[in-house]
Chains A and B, each alone.
Chain A
Amino acid sequence: EAGVTQFPSHSVIEKGQTVTLRCDPISGHDNLYWYRRVMGKEIKFLLHFVKESKQDESGMPNNRFLAERTGGTYSTLKVQPAELEDSGVYFCASSQDRVGYTFGSGTRLTVV
């Protein structure tokens, strides 16, 4: 079974630019989550999709972040315009139930 795939693995962009992160969950997993780890701090929840619907987006920092999951398959997370404090590792996870979560290896975003 293929795991959760995230692309790109690393991204370095300038402040003010736009970046789009992509997550391909495990096939058949209805639940897709985005999390973020800022250096030295805990991994924090951003949002949760159930199929194509946003179930909970209470962790999204501000309106510069836009997540989509068209067709209930892969998801994108766009940051526009990026700020320095957006730097961190962005993780995606998928789950079929609330017990087993499978994480991707993350996208390390550096805003300079």
Chain B
Amino acid sequence: ILNVEQSPQSLHVQEGDSTNFTCSFPSSNFYALHWYRWETAKSPEALFVMTLNGDEKKKGRISATLNTKEGYSYLYIKGSQPEDSATYLCAFIDNTDKLIFGTGTRLQVFP
């Protein structure tokens, strides 16, 4: 059974704080690691697709790193804003071509 774990489950921060979340996944048969941002009643929005060990990707104030050998990825948000409030999902793909999701980290940013 493949497990993808995300921590923390939820996070409340003040506007301007920087924050980070963890995603851990199986280190065998790794193909890719996806990060999504999801607001209820909307489509999960793709943030990053990471494939190479040591990858670092950045999109505005959000960045992510990947360690495939030890099976973890970090997502960082610098200077959180209220509009960053959402659930952040990571999903692992192995050679079976299906996304295996973690339960997500629910972020709330207070003004």
The A-B contact count (CB < 8 A) is 57
Top 3 A-B residue pairs of the complex, sorted by shortest distance between their CB atoms: A43-B101, A45-B98, A42-B103
Which residue in B44, B46, B97 is a CB contact (below 8 Å) of A91? B44
Which applies to chain B's interface (DSSP): helix, strand, loop or mixed?
loop
Chain A count of residues within 8 A CB distance of the other chain:
28
- Segment 18-58 of A: residues with Cβ below 8 Å from B: 31, 33, 35, 40-45, 48, 55-56
Mark contacts of B92-111 with chain A using CB atoms, 8 A cut-off: 1 yes-contact digit, 0 otherwise.
01001111111110000000
Q: Are B98 and A99 in contact (CB under 8 A)?
A: no
Which residues of B are interface residues toward A (Cβ below 8 A)? 4, 31-32, 34, 36, 41-44, 46, 49, 51, 89, 91, 93, 96-104
CA distance A59 to B104 in the complex (A): 20
Residue of A nearest to B31 (CB): A98
Which residues of A are interface residues toward B (Cβ below 8 A)? 3-4, 9, 31, 33, 35, 40-45, 48, 55-56, 59, 91, 93, 98-106, 108
Residue of A nearest to B104 (CB): A42
B100, chain A: closest CB distance, angstroms: 7
